[in-house]
Amino acid sequence: MKAYVLYLTQSRLLFIIMGKILKVGRWSMSDQKTDRRIIRTKRMLRDALTVLMEEKGFERITVSDLTEKADINRGTFYLHYQDKFDLLKKSEEEIIDGLRELKTKIILPTEIESAPLHLVKLFEYIADNARFMKLILGPKGDPGFQVKLKRFMETTFLEKAMKRSNHESLSVPIEHLMAYVTSAHLGVIQHWLESGMQQTPQEMASTVMKITFYGPAQLAGLKQSPPQDNGGH
Amino acid sequence: MKAYVLYLTQSRLLFIIMGKILKVGRWSMSDQKTDRRIIRTKRMLRDALTVLMEEKGFERITVSDLTEKADINRGTFYLHYQDKFDLLKKSEEEIIDGLRELKTKIILPTEIESAPLHLVKLFEYIADNARFMKLILGPKGDPGFQVKLKRFMETTFLEKAMKRSNHESLSVPIEHLMAYVTSAHLGVIQHWLESGMQQTPQEMASTVMKITFYGPAQLAGLKQSPPQDNGGH
DNA sequence: TAATAAAACAACAGCTTGTCCATTACTTAG
DNA sequence: CTAAGTAATGGACAAGCTGTTGTTTTATTA
C-alpha cells in the first residue's frame, strides 16, 4: 500500500492512496495545543458561536458571521474547522467529554446505590455550562445532541441500575423503559433550563428521583384508573 | 391613515404606509386552494423535502435541491414559500393540524377516563405519518417540533388528567411532573420510530400507560432503595 | 535572537439566494 | 368551447457565502 504526498501548503497535507485523493487534516511539527494563538482563536470562535446561536439560531449562522463576531480572518476559521457543523460538533464533544470526566470522578466506593448522587452531579454540571446547554437543548438547538446526552445517561447510571433488576418480572420491554426514563430526565433538564433554573441541582435530582420511583401518576394522585391491559387484542 | 399601492407584480403586492415599505404577502383574485397546479406544486415540494431530509438532513438542503428534486422551476418555489424554513414550518403545521382534528374527533361521551384511548389514537396517527415523523423527530430533525408535540400532549390529555389530581398532595412541582411525562412520551415515540415500529400502536400506548402509572423503578423491580429526600439540605 | 508557525490579506471560481420580467401553459367560470 | 385569469417557466441579475490558494505579516517559543 503506497501513499504519495501530493501537495503540501501551510498546514494542509494531501495524499493520494490507491488513486483516491485524501485530505489528511492538518500539518504541523509542534504540539497543536501549546500555541496561545490557536487557543485564543478557538475560544473566540466558540464564544461567537454561542452568541450568534442566541441571536439567530444555528441554521441562520454563516462562517462570515462567526469570523466577523470573533474578529478573526475568515480564512483562519478553515485552518481549524471544516465548516460550521464541525465547529458545533467539536463544541458538543467538549461538553460530552466533560460529562465523561465527571463519570470517572464519581465512582467512589462509598456509593453503591449511587443513582441520586450521579444525578446531582449531572445537574450541577449542566448548571455550570448552562448557557451553552440551554441553547443546544433548546428549540433551536441540535436534536443530535439530545441523543448523545440520553445515551450518556443510559450507559452511565441507568443501565447499571436496570441490569440489577429482575428482567423476567418486566411487563414492558426494557428498551421502552429506557427510552421513557432517559427522555423524561432530558425533558426535566430542558424545562429547568428554559424556566431560568429556579431550583438547585439537589432539588432537581430529588424531584426526578421521586417521580421515577413512585411513578408520575402516583405522585399526581391519580389512583382511580389503573391501566387495563389493552395491548393484547 | 393612507395606504399607497407601490408595486404590483405577479402575485406580489407592496404598500407604503407612513413612509415604510410593507410587503403584504400574496395577491390573487381566486381561491388559493382550488387551482390544481398549486396543489400539485406544493405536494411535489413537500415530497421533495421529505426525500432530501432523508438523504442529507434539513440543514444541508438548498432551495435549488428542492426545486430540482420536485422538477419545478426555482422561481415557483418563492411563489409559495418564503424560504426552506417556511416550507418546513408549514409542513409541520399540517401535521399538528391533523393532531388537533384527532383531538376534536376523540372526545366522545363513552370515554371519561380516556387517556389510554387518546394515546392509542396518537400512536396510530404517528404511524400513519411515520416517514415524516421519524425525520422530524429524529437526530437531524427539528427540536422546535418536539416542543410543539409536547405542548400538544400536555394540553390535550395530560393537563386534563392532572387537573383532576389533588394538587396539595404533590411532593414535586407540577411543572416538572409535566415536563417529565410529556418528554417521556416523546422519547418512547422517538424510540419506536427509530427502531422500525415493531409494536402496534395499542401495545405502545399500553406500555406507556403502565410505566406512567406504576413508575419506571417499580416496573424494573428496583424497590430496594426508595429515594430519600436530599433536596432540603 | 532566530526559527517556526499562525494569522491576516486579497483574490478566485463556483454556487445559492431572492427577485424580476416576459412568455408560455394550464385551469376554470361563463 | 372559449376567453379571461392565473400559475409556471426560462432567463437574467446583483448580492452574498463558500472553500481554497499564495503571499505577507505577526506572534510564539526554544
A70-81 confidence digits (pLDDT tens): 999 999 999 999
Q: Which pLDDT does position A222 carry in this prediction? A: 64
In this structure, the answer to whether residues A25 and A36 fall within a common structural domain is: no
Lowest mean pLDDT among A141-145, B82-86, B153-157: B153-157
Those nucleotides of strand D lying less than 7 Å from any protein Cβ are: 5-12, 16-24, 27-30
Q: What is the CATH number of the domain that holds B164?
A: 1.10.357.10
The answer to whether the CB of A156 falls within 8 A of the CB of A149 is no
| B225 in a structural domain | no
pLDDT exceeds cutoff 50 at A149: yes
| A226 in a structural domain | no
Instruction: Among A53, A81, A109, give the residue marking a domain's end.
Output: A81
Q: Pick from B142, B180, B185, B225 the residue to mutate for testing the A interface (most A CBs within 10 Å).
A: B180
ipTM above threshold 0.90: no
How far does the CA of residue B143 sit from the closest CA of chain A (Å)?
5
Distance A202 CA to C13 C1' (A): 57
Q: Which residues of A touch B166 (CB under 8 A)?
A: 221
In this structure, the answer to whether residues A132 and A103 fall within a common structural domain is: yes
Mean pLDDT of B72-99: 97
B102-144 confidence digits (pLDDT tens): 877 665 444 444 457 789 999 999 999 999 999 999 999 999 9
Q: How many domains does chain A have?
A: 3
In this structure, the answer to whether residues B2 and B49 fall within a common structural domain is: no
Q: Which residues of A touch B209 (CB under 8 A)?
A: 227
| A126 in a structural domain | yes
In this structure, the answer to whether residues B155 and B101 fall within a common structural domain is: yes
In this structure, the answer to whether residues A115 and A187 fall within a common structural domain is: yes
In this structure, the answer to whether residues A121 and A154 fall within a common structural domain is: yes
Q: What is the CATH number of the domain that holds A71?
A: 1.10.10.60
Q: Which pLDDT does position B167 carry in this prediction? A: 60
| B7 in a structural domain | yes
d(CA B182, CA B159): 10
Q: Which pLDDT does position B18 carry in this prediction? A: 41
In this structure, the answer to whether residues B119 and B184 fall within a common structural domain is: yes
Mean of per-residue pLDDT scores for chain A: 81
- Here the cell at position A204 is 432537581
Q: Which pLDDT does position B34 carry in this prediction? A: 78
In this structure, the answer to whether residues A128 and A216 fall within a common structural domain is: yes
Containing domain of residue B103, as a range? 92-220
